[in-house]
Amino acid sequence: MSTVFVQIGQCGNQVGQALWKKIIKDEEVKNSYSFVDNEQRLRAVAVDSEPKVVRKITKGLPYLEQCVVSGKRGRGTNWALGYHGVQKLGDDHLLEITLEAVRKQVEKCDTFTGIVLLHSLSGGTGSGFGSRVAETLREEYPLAHLMSCAMAPHASGESPLQHFNSLLTLATLQRCTDCVVLTQNDDVLQRVQKQAKNESVSFANLNEAIASHLTGIFLPTDSIKTKSKFSLGMEPWEMMRSISPDPRCKFVQIAQYMNSKLSWNELLHKLSSTLRKYGKNGEAFASLGCICVARGDSTGGFHLHSGSLEPKIRQALNCVEWNPFPVDFWTAGSNGCGPRSSASLTIAANSSSVVEYIEGVIARAQVMYDAGAYLHWYWRHGATQDDFQNSFETLRTVVEDYKEAVR
């Protein structure tokens, strides 16, 4: 079972670089060929609208040369320019070249399972071109799984267009993908700063943390293997099947805690302390389902603790009552997320906390839209009023579906 990764834009490629540095160290990945081919080259396509980023990011990693794709000019932090391309200055065929690179990777797979996208919600390439790629891949591979790992910008503002870009991209992902693993930069920054104490936190630190969260779920586990103990590399898709089977509620968020000296109960206590349990208005978040992955279980004794950990996880995540089995446990003998001597707990949850984020995007984008702010930049590159109205409607429906699911 093989998965192809497509990393788009500066953010997607930087996170991809940190992710692959962890993945290729895992011996089971090398042996199963789920994320690498039989020559140990990455099953990945790295694409950006400018060559500088991908040349730097892919250096030193075993990418196929024809799967490193770059355009001729940037996308100006504009969803419309990223989605529709550089129309007036000539088409640089970025979409066609990207799709051809994906096709080559898919054809190299003995058993192709699905595609994971890595991209931001705010950059012109990550948001706009990422949306176009997601739509096209859904059309090209209708039976394959399609997952987005999307990075949300800081609420304080990375660009005046980020709210429009996030609105349009989130709506596209809701329509086209099977699952969205949403990472909010503010949440990651807060956790990293807490662990770093007085040390400064760089973008590289944030990318490393995001990659660690993803590998906590994606790397092979002992729980999902054949009877002959062979890894199939199905972890991303088993996670999706387990906690986001309803296409109306498909947003997943990941939290992780790692330490070499703490017990499993202590790790869970530390991890729980990093979780936001209540919204700004005091409403309690609820979880539709979650997976807890214990890595570094070298003695195989984690199962002795899972019974006592489950009620604590249910309480920490406020799991819905209608799901009789809201917590699933996976284990792995080694911890591929960090130092070999450490152990980690990673929780992927389908939580209603996403509602607060989506409502914030809708509210800020609506204020700008009603004021007509920056809209001419979108009309100039092919966006329409229908794009915005449909996106507002799609995300408002997501909010209502989550509220209904946790009642």
Q: Map out the domains of the chain with their CATH numbers.
A: 2-243 (3.40.50.1440), 252-351 (3.30.1330.20), 355-405 (1.10.287)
pLDDT digits (tens, 9 = 90+) for 48-98: 998 988 988 888 999 999 999 998 888 889 999 999 985 544 556 899 999
pLDDT of residue 87: 54
> What average pLDDT does range 361-379 have in this prediction?
97
Q: Is the pLDDT of residue 287 over 70?
A: yes
Residue 86 confidence (pLDDT): 59
Determine how many CB atoms are found less than 10 A away from the CB of residue 154.
13
Average pLDDT value for the chain: 94
Q: Which residues of 270-286 are buried (b: 16+ CB within 10 A; e: fewer)?
A: ebbeebeeeeeeeeebb
Residue-level pLDDT at 320:
98
pLDDT higher than 90, residue 366: yes
Under DSSP, the state recorded for 353 is H
Average pLDDT over every residue of 340-349: 94
| Predicted confidence (pLDDT) at residue 289 exceeds the cutoff of 80 | yes
Q: From residue 49, how far is each of 92, 148, 197, 336, 345 by CA, in Å?
A: 9, 19, 37, 32, 36
Kindly indicate the confidence band of residue 31, based on its pLDDT and cuts at 50, 70 and 90.
Answer: confident
Mean pLDDT of 239-245: 97
Return the half-sphere exposure (C-beta side, CA atoms, 13 A cut-off) of residue 330. 28
Q: Which pLDDT band, with edges at 50, 70 and 90, does 16 fall under? A: very high
Question: Residue 150 has what pLDDT?
Answer: 99
Query: Could you tell me the pTM of the whole model?
Result: 0.96
**What average pLDDT does the segment 184-204 reach?**
87
